[in-house]
Amino acid sequence: MKGQASASWRGSAVKFRIPTAENLVPIRLDIEVDGHRFKDAFTWNPSDPDSEIVVFAKRTVKDLKLPPVFITHIASSIQSQLAEFRSFEGQEMYAGEKIVPIKLDLRVKHTLIRDQFLWDMNNFESDPEEFAKTFCKDLGIEDPEVAPAIAFAIREQLYEIAIQSVASARESRISKKGRRGVDHTPASKAGSTAVDLVKLFGHRSSVVRKRKEWDIYEPIVDVLSNEEVDALEAREERNAR
Amino acid sequence: MATTKPTLVQDPSSEPPATPQPPPASAPVPSPVTLSAAKPDTPIAVAASDVREIARPALPPTAANLRPSEPSPTSDAVVAHVPSYARWFSFDDIHQCEVRFLPEFFDSRSHWKNPGIYKYYRNSIVNRYRADASRKISFTDARKTLVGDVGSIRRVFDFLEGWGLINYSPPALNKPLKWEDKESKTGSGASHGGGESGGASSKEVKTKRLCNHCKSACSIACFVCDKNGMTLCARCYVRGNYQIGDVTSSDFRRVEINDDSKADWQERDTQHLLEALMHYGDDWRKVARHVGRTEKECVSHFVKLPFGEEFSCFVDSENVNGSYDVGMDHGSVESCETSLTKRMRLTPLADASNPIMAQAAFLSALAGVGVAEAAARAAVTALSEAEYGSVGESTGSHLQKGRQKEAVVASNGNTHSNTAEGAWEDAKLQLVWEEQDVERAISGIVEVQMKEVKDKIDRFEALDLHMEKEWQQLEQMKNMLFVDQLTLLFHKNPAQKTGERLENSLQSARWGEAGPSSLVVKTPKKIPS
């Protein structure tokens, strides 16, 4: 499961893992039973024993005073997501030069966060938790629930991209059987989300971001009032249905 | 203030830090009112009464350290309570027990799980709790606000809760009422809060005993026959007034009434105890009946016995005993020591039949040997001070009957709670005795040597006298010889010649012998005759 140190040359295949220092799985729960809706998102350590799942489910239900029906639902949901993660584990993932944009667009209680930044998929030492903590500290976010949400969002996206790269690696392996050369451009295969490095860091451009892109990459933090929160929630529910 | 009541409740709730899995978030008394009102929750009296309950199972090693708790002042408005056994906690440091309980953060298996992260979790959880101490913080609240994987957060949370650093409420006063109800049910006239099972049984013993035969109250001592359940007062017993004929006097067991149970444990009491243990093993009720004292006293005395005595007679405990019999074969003391201590460390854990020892051993393993020893010592001193004033001396007198090996064995770092202290005292006494013996021996030797010298001097003096006498005798003989020579010369020659010769010989005698001039004068008179 541990990825090797990333090779800098294209075409290297690496065992699947979330490209962060700590291999944690983002788990999202969205359970609806008898009109009770329970939504949650957190990070799970896949090396924890499975007994943890039930313990956690029971704890959560007890703390939030949910009907006990939720215990089994929560546990099974967590388990299925973990199983899915584990199914990817043995496979290879394509890891080339890949810098992806990560977008944050989330609302945690009264705080609204919108941001976009670039993330290096090859950096297996990256730490979304640290990023989230620093983010909140720098922007003076007081609500402590924001940081985990940010970390979770980042992880989720990284996970998605990793899954995509596994799929693409599989495709390229299949298609490789026909060709002999390995140097098909990764940009077209690894998904369109990857930023074209040549364009960005080529000798003709500079590292400094262009002015028109400033707005996109600027973090926006809004603290909403209660009415706005209610309005947003109502809108979300309408969208969900 | 009702001191003893809260303590009993404290016992069960003080167990959680000892169990391997942190217990689920338990809220013994959900009453915010008592939290802010009651300030000290475990007064000093706890130490004594908790220590008294050594006979009860599940004695946490931290019980000996129970002292008044300190409120941790984070804000002036609300006082957050922390139990006294968690007083090691500080925001800046990581304590040894944290490392032991949550090794995942400290074994550098993953660079992400490091002590810094642990501190971050711990401090944020505690701060969050203390920000609103009247409300119990739930795990979900905590984990929603912490960045990281929920498994680790849960473990830290459980650890903190188990140690009372969060969600801790001092035992409220309404809990002891339940205990009082239980006591009144058992029917013993226990004074407030004394609801120990050992205490209850001892109080049963103290109820009045009526003699079956003469129907009078037994005052000093009574004799109980277990066969028929008869109780006879001393007088009836002596007279032989047994109601049922086939009961012999040996079937009766003497039971003291005079609250004598706090007296010294005599040799025969100890023997009874050991016999009973051999027969009944762990069944303390039967043992207590056999010895004639309460269970509690039996257990506490047994535990205080010198180490070797205990285990040389303790046949029943399978795990423990095989090794001890070997050890006590009076082979080398060193092998005895090491085998005992080694087995001591292993078998209590394996010996599930003895819950007291299993718990104590496990807890001491958790808390560390030094802590457990200190706790045990403190427990023993408190016990002996509180109840048995003279037991220390009596155990000393036991040992003066020459149990040297046991003392050495016992004092060799065993974690058996009470024998360490008692045996240590015994060893000291033995040392003093030995020193005295040695001194006495030395003085004896010195005396003997002096006598020898004196004798020699006397002999030499006698020899000297003897020599003097002999010399004088010799002198006399010399003179006599000379006289004889002279007479011979006189008889041989005629008068003139003899006269001349006599003169000559006289002269020569005068020159030769300066001494006997009187002899020379005498001889002329003798010649004519």
Mean pLDDT of A135-161: 84
Q: What is the pLDDT of residue B460?
A: 95
* Eight-state DSSP code of residue B224: E
CA closest to A54 among chain B residues: B151
- Please, is B436 exposed, middle or buried when counting C-beta atoms within 10 Å of its C-beta (0-12, 13-18, 19+)? exposed
Chain B partners of A135 at a C-beta cutoff of 8 Å? Answer: none
Chain A partners of B140 at a C-beta cutoff of 8 Å? Answer: 59-60, 63-64
Strand-strand pairing, A25-33 and A13-15: unpaired
Residues A195, A99 contacting (CB under 8 angstroms): yes
Chain A partners of B138 at a C-beta cutoff of 8 Å? Answer: 62-64
The encoded tokens of residue B286 equal 């039967």
Q: Which residues of B touch A (CB under 8 A)?
A: 24-25, 110-113, 124, 128, 138-141, 143-152, 154
Global pTM?
0.44
Evaluate the CA torsion angle B345, B422, B328, B292 in order and state its sign: negative
CA closest to A143 among chain B residues: B145
Nearest to A17 by CA among A80, A95, A77: A95
Chain A partners of B150 at a C-beta cutoff of 8 Å? Answer: 42-45, 56
CB contact under 8 Å between B147 and A148, yes or no, is yes
Q: How far apart are CA B82 and CA B97, in angstroms?
A: 16
Chain B partners of A147 at a C-beta cutoff of 8 Å? Answer: 145-147
Q: What is the pLDDT of residue B412?
A: 52
Distance from CA of B141 to the nearest CA of A (A): 8
Share of chain A above pLDDT 90, in %: 0
Residues A117, A139 contacting (CB under 8 angstroms): no
Q: Partners of A116 in the beta sheet?
A: A103
**Residue B441 CB-half CA count within 13 A:** 6
List, in order, residues 6 or more apart from A39 with CB less than 8 Å away: A29, A30, A31
CB contact under 8 Å between A148 and B110, yes or no, is no
Mean pLDDT of A65-92: 82
CB contact under 8 Å between B139 and A59, yes or no, is yes
Mean pLDDT of A29-35: 81
* Eight-state DSSP code of residue A209: P
Q: What is the pLDDT of residues B320-367, one digit of tens each?
A: 444 444 444 444 444 444 444 444 454 444 555 677 877 877 777 777
Chain B partners of A26 at a C-beta cutoff of 8 Å? Answer: none
Q: What is the pLDDT of residue B270?
A: 83
| DSSP secondary structure letters along A168-193 | HHHHHHHHHTT-------HHHHS-TT
Does the structure show a pLDDT above 90 at A159? no
Q: What is the pLDDT of residue A83?
A: 86
Which residue did the predictor score with more confidence, A241 or A190? A241
Q: Give rounded-to-5 percent helix, strand, coil for chain B.
A: 65, 5, 35
Q: What is the pLDDT of residues B213-224, one digit of tens each?
A: 666 666 656 666
Share of chain B above pLDDT 70, in %: 47
CA closest to A134 among chain B residues: B147
Which among A24, A62, A147 has the least Cβ separation from residue B149? A24
CB contact under 8 Å between B149 and A127, yes or no, is no
Q: What is the pLDDT of residue B430?
A: 94
Q: Partners of A93 in the beta sheet?
A: A14
Nearest to B6 by CA among B46, B44, B33, B39: B46
Q: Which residues of A touch B (CB under 8 A)?
A: 21-22, 24, 42-45, 48, 52, 55-56, 59-60, 62-64, 127, 129, 132-133, 144-145, 147-148, 151
Chain B partners of A48 at a C-beta cutoff of 8 Å? Answer: 149, 151
**H-helix or E-strand containing B252?**
strand B252-256
CB contact under 8 Å between B139 and A127, yes or no, is no
Q: What is the pLDDT of residues B458-512, one digit of tens each?
A: 999 999 999 999 999 999 999 999 999 999 988 887 666 767 777 877 887 777 6
Provide the residue-wise pLDDT of chain B in tens; the chain has 529 residues: 444 333 333 334 444 444 444 444 443 433 333 333 334 444 433 333 333 333 333 334 443 334 344 444 444 455 667 777 777 777 777 788 888 888 877 776 666 667 788 888 888 888 888 887 777 778 887 877 787 777 888 888 888 888 887 777 776 544 444 444 444 444 443 343 333 433 334 444 445 566 666 666 666 566 666 666 666 666 766 766 555 555 566 666 666 555 444 566 778 888 888 888 888 877 888 888 888 788 888 888 888 877 655 554 444 444 444 444 444 444 444 444 444 444 445 444 455 567 787 787 777 777 777 787 888 888 888 888 876 555 545 554 554 554 555 544 444 555 565 778 888 999 999 999 999 999 999 999 999 999 999 999 999 999 999 999 999 999 999 999 999 999 998 888 766 676 777 787 788 777 766 555 544 444 455 555 5
For testing the chain A interface, which of B132, B135, B150, B153 should be mutated: the one with the most A CBs within 10 Å?
Answer: B150
For chains A and B, CB pairs below 8 A equal: 66
Mean pLDDT of A214-220: 79
Which among A22, A42, A133 has the least Cβ separation from residue B150? A42
Packed helices B267-280 and B284-291: angle between N→C axes, nearest 10 degrees: 150
Distance from CA of A164 to the nearest CA of B (A): 24
Which among B25, B141, B148 has the least Cβ separation from residue A43? B148
List, in order, residues 6 or more apart from B101 with CB less than 8 Å away: B22, B159
**H-helix or E-strand containing B221?**
strand B221-225
